[in-house]
Structure 1
Amino acid sequence: MLQKVREIIKENNRRLAVNNAPFNPVTGRGSVGERIKVKIEGFPIRTQWLPKMMMSVPLVKNLSECGNLDRFMSESISKDYSEEDRLKVIEKFVRIRCRHDFAFWAAVYVWIKNKGGGEDVLFRLTRPQRRFVERLEQLRLAGKPIRLILLKARQWGGSTTSQIYMAWLQLCHKVGLNSLIIAHQTSGSDEIRDMFNRMLESYPVEMLYKMGEAYNPAEPKLVGVGMSGLIHAVPQRNCKIKIGTAKNPDSCRGGDYNLVHCSEVGIWEATEKKTPEQIVRSACSGVLYKSYTMIVYESTANGTGNFFELEYTAAKAGKSQFESMFVSWFDIDQYSLEFESEEKRVEFARWLWDNRLRDSAASDREEPGKYLWWLWEIGATLEAINWYVIERAKYHDHGDIASEYPSDDVEAFVHSGARVFDKYNVDKLKKTCKPPKYIGDVYADKDTGKEAFSNIRFQKDGQGLLWIWAMPEIDPDEIVTDRYLTVVDIGGRSNKADWSVITVFDRLFMSDGGKPVVVAQWYGHIDIDLLAWKAGQIAAFYDNSLLVIESNTLETHDKERQVDGDQSQFVLNQLGGVYPNLYARSSPEDSIVEGKPVKYGFHTNINTKPMIISTLIKVVRETSYVERDKRCLDEYITYEKKQNGSFGAIKGKHDDLLMTRAIGLHICYFEMPLPKIMPRKMKRLSRHRRAVSAATI
């Protein structure tokens, strides 16, 4: 057996051991959160693994230190303690544990429908459910509001877990917590209502009261409120449970609610009355941002550009109140297929290793070996990959299985077209991405005109829009010609418009066969004419670097401003009259001879766009440049070739960073000469010295 195959088998055994580690929610072994092993002789459960936070409770601390229930009773209660006294101590301990240990409470008191049919079963958390509860508990124990967006594969009980966790907060923690649950459609709300009925029907009435309080064993635990049938109350806890549907927006109105769970948000459809955004806003607007409040958006993915995808993306990027969480198909135990023998397992591991670089599949119902190896690299077991190979045969397109069984939170959101960039090649660029050394902006004596280039300086500002990974290197005596390149992709002024991007490349190392490096980037929203001057200032800051502005983007956005006529060339001509190194589509000398006006800027059209995208594909494939901003990699993996043959970002995404790389790297490799060192006094910049080939005009 190859050494590498042995290593794969060894690692697989380790993963299986982690996945199959002992879990007993009653004893607490292997359960959620940090645990302390405690032995108490004479206790109904002699050995328990208790939540660490529970050990600060005096009764628990004293019992664990004593280690013997009878001794504790005689020393702390009474030498003549009765059996009733003993049972009261046990009950008090159990109640304390119920408040601190959700998994224990659920496994002892919560009956749910058995998915396989037959009698009801107690709710015992599965592996992904334990991960989910651990995230919820981290927020609760930190005293934070619970705000979570859960992107998931199908059929592991994420919705059920969220709803029962909310019930735990209502029944065990605080009186008066009201909950609102919004299902996708009526059948979903009926199932949720049935779950609560089933749970409370078997729930002990005495557990709804403080210990020792009087109660009637026959009293109702769930009663209807009003005539709608949507709201029920648990009178003993002074709390309400409202269940609505996205199909009926009026049923989703919030109010005095503390806990909100929005189920399958990704497939909510916009109605004549309300969009998903409006439904969520109506449901959640009254929930205060404080501890013991909870809002969970949960769903499988359903394409891009919709409310759920946009909110998940914002949470993942840290730009939201919410945290993001993803559950892949191989996190779910049922999606695994054992091998017939150890020999078959070894054979599969050897095949996986031998085909790890194969990027083509024998049919459209298989995945290439490269993809299956990637599954191994991100944590799937051999048994899980074996299951995936069999399941994949049901689908003729990768996007179809990815929507049901996503492997990561990128492929979960199905693309309508074909991805342009190989995700494995994009991953290689991550190694050089890092936070900027400096954040701020460049300033001059004026924002426009000749004085826009007087006294150019960089000023640090934590809220600045210019990120710098490497400051310009300028020697007063020597110059490295053609070293820096500044490229501009123009967006809009409003926050909802595309971003404007100014990217600076350092080409120094290309003279020795090295790679161009992204060294600075401005990213924000600004008036278009001011952006052109800002780009000129940044280009000047980087030793009067060649400045390339995508001119057709400028023309498009200029027209959108509804000014009289096309002002784009006017803006560029103004800039070109002052800045000495502005990219032009035809050389000034030819224009003078032929009497034609200079055409400044790079024009992206049906001829040039495939050309620069082809260059970028090759550069990314060969890792032929150094990226610094991880956000650009996100744009690569959400860029596609549309069904009509055009290129663009998938719905709801951007390609602004990507386009500066496409234009800039094409010019780096095909239009600019290699950098060389010469005395600065011998260097005379020839204005607008760049000319492009006829293919780019």
Structure 2
Amino acid sequence: MAISKENAQKLKYLFEDGHEVDWIGAFVKIVNKDTKTVPFILTEEQKQFVEGLEKFNIVLKSRQLGLSVCTVALAIRQCIVYPNSCCLLVSHDQKSCNAIFDKLKQQFNSLPSWLKPKEIANNRQEIKMANGSKITCCCAGNKDVGRGDTLHLVHLSEFAFWKMPEKQLNSITQALAPDGKLIIESTANGLNYFHDLYFQAKNNENSYKSFFFNWINGSTLFKKDYDNSVEIYKSKNNKLLDVAELSDEEKELVKLGASLEQLMWRRLKVASSGLDAFHQEYPSTDIEAYISSGANVFSNKKIDEVERAIKTNKIKYIPKENISDLPRLLQLHYGRSFFIWKIPKAGERYFIGVDSSEGVGQDYTVVEVFNKDGEQVAEFYNNKLKPYEMADIIDSVGHYYSKGIITVETASGGHSIIERLRYNLKYMNMTKYKSYDEFNKMQWRIGFDTNVKTKNLIINDFIEFFEKGLIKINSTRLLNEMKVFSIDDNGKMGASGSNHDDSVMSTALALAGLKNGFYYPF
């Protein structure tokens, strides 16, 4: 049957890449929570997900936001718009796999008859189509996952719960077509390979694009749950929750968009499962999903208070155009690697900590600057600059901040930085420590020798300064590192998983200089 010119133009539009949201809304139907079959109109979060996809994608999310259902619809579209496509939907267990296949069949069968390709197989959790396309649902751990196929769309569900995820991911990525898409998606499940991949993606340290979806913004999917929780809360407390009763954390959630109805639902969830479990399954931030209160070195409550103060007081680094005397070398990095909250005052003492790296794109070299009152006034971080380049930058920072005392950790690229600062650039105001040579003769060395004993000392001093309110932190980067700085069962302190602790260590070194009080004018 012929179609009108107008409808032909609409179909052309819908079948073009970039219009996936409209295609799904026009042709796919789903069963909603009221068991009614309705057009699949995506929520704002689902739209953001679909429209933002690149080749490699990793998604950390709250529970039950409907992203798996979106991916099923995308797989169906791929197989219709591009015949001879192969899509793979991998679940972490058989129960989840069965659920995904049921959703696939429901969505596929909801397509208009003129659009739906003829099926040549619909069994063993796989749909094969007469146009050469197929969609396969399977469990993680299946040895034949992706074997022999060129994959055009792959969805790996609840990846944080997989066994041997790295090995399986390597196998799947090798089968991905040049123009294919890979979606890794999961709720949090502790500090594991998924956690590492996600934060590496967030820090632009791998090829994945990171997405995070919190529980607050998915409110449209849980309206009935919230309504029921309001009734339960009212029956238990003889009244509804009032703004005046909110805790500091709940006030922050309101700023993120949470309603009082959602907070009543949250209170009931926390009462039944505990706050840590809620943070993991229904995080409001990606860091919160991984906070383990028992292992963290710094007080999460105190960190949250400081974060709120930064937001409330609108603390931001000084715009570049408002700084008139910034050295040329530092100007080149300002706003990207270098940030200033307070310009130096003549005659004031400054304390500069340096945690160094080799500048090969992995760990960062971080420079933290504090004034005599314990306020963080500047920060520099970069993981691409070599030690000799960083020495020149540290020299500029030191001179700019009134020839402040510099404490450089001797590990990694620290020795090179110290040598260049002292003997090439003649920077004299540097922390020294005592050591003994092979003849048991005492000598002074420049820098800070970090070992198990000294590291614990300076970190514990940092903790005391922070929790007693003796320092003022202005950097959210530093606060985020403090959230994941933990202590393991062997008493070893450091960043959890693949997170960084360079800012934490450089701050501890700056504070060690502040506590020691030594200053060498030159």
State the distance in 2 between where 1:577 and 1:94 align.
68
State the distance in 2 between where 1:600 and 1:571 align.
9
In the alignment, is residue 467 of structure 1 matched against residue 313 of structure 2? no
Q: CA deviation at 1:169?
A: 4.3
Q: How has the CA–CA distance of structure 1 residues 321 and 527 changed in structure 2, closer, same or farther, with 3 Å as cutoff?
A: closer
Relative contact order (C-alpha < 8 Å, sep 6+): which is higher? 2
- 1:358-507 matches, cutoff 5 A: 369-396=247-274, 398-415=275-292, 417-418=295-296, 420-422=298-300, 423-427=303-307, 428-429=309-310, 431-434=314-317, 437=320, 458=329, 461=332, 467=338, 469=340, 480-492=346-358, 494-496=360-362, 498-505=363-370, 507=371
Selected match of 2:383 from 517, 524, 536: 524
Q: How has the CA–CA distance of structure 1 residues 277 and 531 changed in structure 2, closer, same or farther, with 3 Å as cutoff?
A: farther
Q: Given that residues 184 and 268 in structure 1 are in contact (C-alpha distance below 8 angstroms), is that contact kept between their aligned partners in structure 2?
A: yes
- Partner residue, 1:32: none
- Partner residue, 2:67: 158
Deviation digits for residues 164-213 of structure 1 (CA, Å, limit 9, x no counterpart): 23313433x4444432222223443343333333443454432237xxxx
Q: CA deviation at 1:262?
A: 1.8
State the distance in 1 between where 2:139 and 2:102 align.
15
- Partner residue, 1:600: 446
Q: How has the CA–CA distance of structure 1 residues 596 and 94 changed in structure 2, closer, same or farther, with 3 Å as cutoff?
A: closer
Q: How has the CA–CA distance of structure 1 residues 535 and 541 changed in structure 2, closer, same or farther, with 3 Å as cutoff?
A: same
Selected match of 2:481 from 624, 635, 652: 635
- Partner residue, 1:197: 105
Q: Secondary structure at the match of 1:393?
A: helix
Q: How has the CA–CA distance of structure 1 residues 435 and 409 changed in structure 2, closer, same or farther, with 3 Å as cutoff?
A: farther
- Partner residue, 1:648: 494
With 372-381 and 519-528 compared, the bigger mean Cα shift is at 519-528
**2:403 maps to amino acid:** N
Q: How has the CA–CA distance of structure 1 residues 602 and 93 changed in structure 2, closer, same or farther, with 3 Å as cutoff?
A: closer
Q: CA deviation at 1:329?
A: 6.0
Q: Given that residues 29 and 40 in structure 2 are in contact (C-alpha distance below 8 angstroms), is that contact kept between their aligned partners in structure 1?
A: no
Q: Given that residues 315 and 324 in structure 1 are in contact (C-alpha distance below 8 angstroms), is that contact kept between their aligned partners in structure 2?
A: no
State the distance in 1 between where 2:59 and 2:419 align.
47
Q: Given that residues 490 and 500 in structure 1 are in contact (C-alpha distance below 8 angstroms), is that contact kept between their aligned partners in structure 2?
A: yes
**1:385 maps to amino acid:** L
State the distance in 2 between where 1:568 and 1:206 align.
70
Counting matched residue pairs gives 498
- Partner residue, 1:548: 407
Q: Given that residues 420 and 617 in structure 1 are in contact (C-alpha distance below 8 angstroms), is that contact kept between their aligned partners in structure 2?
A: no
Q: How has the CA–CA distance of structure 1 residues 530 and 469 changed in structure 2, closer, same or farther, with 3 Å as cutoff?
A: closer
- Partner residue, 1:353: 244
Q: How has the CA–CA distance of structure 1 residues 597 and 189 changed in structure 2, closer, same or farther, with 3 Å as cutoff?
A: same
- 1:57-206 matches, cutoff 5 A: 102=21, 110=29, 121-123=36-38, 125=40, 130-136=43-49, 138-139=51-52, 145=54, 148-171=57-80, 173-201=81-109, 203-206=111-114
TM-score, normalized by length of structure 2? 0.76
- Cα RMSD of the aligned pairs, angstroms, is 4.6
In the alignment, is residue 584 of structure 1 matched against residue 432 of structure 2? yes
Q: How has the CA–CA distance of structure 1 residues 520 and 631 changed in structure 2, closer, same or farther, with 3 Å as cutoff?
A: closer
Q: CA deviation at 1:389?
A: 1.9
Q: Given that residues 230 and 243 in structure 1 are in contact (C-alpha distance below 8 angstroms), is that contact kept between their aligned partners in structure 2?
A: yes
Q: Secondary structure at the match of 1:420?
A: coil
- 1:207-246 matches, cutoff 5 A: 207-208=115-116, 220-223=118-121, 232-235=127-130, 237-246=131-140
**1:410 maps to amino acid:** I
In the alignment, is residue 312 of structure 1 matched against residue 201 of structure 2? no
Where structure 2 has 5 or more consecutive residues not aligned to the other structure, the ranges are 322-326
Q: Given that residues 353 and 369 in structure 2 are in contact (C-alpha distance below 8 angstroms), is that contact kept between their aligned partners in structure 1?
A: yes
**2:264 maps to amino acid:** N
Q: Given that residues 108 and 116 in structure 2 are in contact (C-alpha distance below 8 angstroms), is that contact kept between their aligned partners in structure 1?
A: no
- Partner residue, 2:324: none
Q: Given that residues 145 and 294 in structure 1 are in contact (C-alpha distance below 8 angstroms), is that contact kept between their aligned partners in structure 2?
A: yes
TM-score, normalized by length of structure 1? 0.59
Q: CA deviation at 1:597?
A: 0.8
- Partner residue, 1:338: 230
Q: CA deviation at 1:159?
A: 0.9
Q: How has the CA–CA distance of structure 1 residues 462 and 654 changed in structure 2, closer, same or farther, with 3 Å as cutoff?
A: closer
State the distance in 2 between where 1:335 and 1:480 align.
60
* Bigger Rg over Cα: 1
- Partner residue, 1:14: none
In the alignment, is residue 302 of structure 1 matched against residue 302 of structure 2? no
**1:353 maps to amino acid:** A
Where structure 1 has 5 or more consecutive residues not aligned to the other structure, the ranges are 1-83, 210-219, 357-368, 439-455, 474-478, 559-566, 674-684, 688-697
Q: How has the CA–CA distance of structure 1 residues 544 and 338 changed in structure 2, closer, same or farther, with 3 Å as cutoff?
A: closer
Q: How has the CA–CA distance of structure 1 residues 404 and 246 changed in structure 2, closer, same or farther, with 3 Å as cutoff?
A: same
Q: Secondary structure at the match of 1:275?
A: helix
Deviation digits for residues 615-667 of structure 1 (CA, Å, limit 9, x no counterpart): 45544774843535x42232122123444555322121111111212221353
